Amino acid sequence: MKKILLFSLISSITVFAQSAGNTGLSFLKYGFGARNIAMGDAGNALSNDLTGLFYNPARLALTDRSEVLFMHNEWIQDVSSEVIGAKTILWGVPFAVGFNVTSVKDIPFRTIPSPDPITNFSANYFYGSLSTGFFVTKEISFGASFKYLYEGLLNDEASGFGFDFGLNYLLPYQGLTASMVVKNIGSMNALRNESTKLPTEFRFGTAYTYTLEDSKFDFTGGAEFQKYLDTEDNHFNFGGEVLYDKLIAARAGYQTGYESRGFTAGIGLMWGNLKFDYAFLPFSLGLGNANLFSLQFKF
């Protein structure tokens, strides 16, 4: 009965979050951790460390070690992000904090049609988050995140807040999990004349990890459905990883529903408690390519 009530709670929150109109703050849609992004950004299903603070805070309960992670995101069209996360255990419960600083450089400013802009400026975005996740039964963990949000555009500024709520279910078959989350429920103050809507989204997915007997190979695969509630955007994200000897990993993924991108790829290198991950996202339509790097330490 507890399992039914918990999944009903998330479903109710999802319905409550729906509203008409478009959304902004697109930097909230960028993934966290090059491992997840290399696997089709299917982090709600596949995140296995503190990166769950971005995708699904319920998955923070699956690991009991302290962690720190830094990610540099060299996106397309002069968009770049610096992301930092840290996780620790307090009173037997995991807590994680995350920070994202995203900027869009060299935006031309004009008051009339002209080949030369009056000046160039940058758009700046920031969020700081606090997350936790814990088991409510032996199989189900629940998690929640609170985010402080900021956007600055030329001479205008706005701030606001957002919430994430997630569940993770350890299915009876070993290595198989199911996860669901609703993200970015909240609001912003007015940016000059109108407030920006948050990109509220719902994700549901499953993942499976298998260790090949008498070998050093581990295989992980997952798939999830992603729906932005205020738009017509629907996506399916798929990803997989082959890990050899807990030392080197090869990853690939695919995302549907995007006009300019689909395939993702990346690698991971582990040395003791230190891990380096890289993700590559090729874009079509002449937009270029995105390169993402993350460095993680567990202790």
> Which residues, in sequence order, are CB contacts of 75 under 8 Å at separation 6+?
30, 81, 290
- Within a 10 A sphere around the Cβ of 172, how many other Cβ atoms? 7
64 band by pLDDT with thresholds 50, 70 and 90 = confident
The whole-model pTM stands at 0.83
In tens, the pLDDT along 29-50 reads 888 899 999 999 999 999 999 9
Give dist(CA 10, CA 240) in Å, integer.
27
CA 85 to CA 63: how far, in whole Å? Answer: 15
pLDDT digits (tens, 9 = 90+) for 182-241: 999 999 988 777 888 899 999 999 999 998 877 889 999 999 999 999 887 899 999 999
The SS3 call for residue 175 is coil
Do the Cβ atoms of 229 and 200 come closer than 8 Å?
yes
What pLDDT is stored for residue 106 in this prediction?
64
The pLDDT of 80-96, averaged and rounded, is 92
pLDDT band at 177 (very low <50, low <70, confident <90, very high): very high
Q: Is the pLDDT of residue 6 over 60?
A: no
What is the H or E stretch that residue 282 is in?
A: strand 274-282
Residue with tokens 């999830």: 224
Residue 5 clears pLDDT 60, i.e. is over it: no
Write down the residue that tokens 């996202």 correspond to.
281
**Nearby residues of 161 by Cβ (< 8 Å), 6 or more positions away:** 146, 147, 148, 149, 186, 187
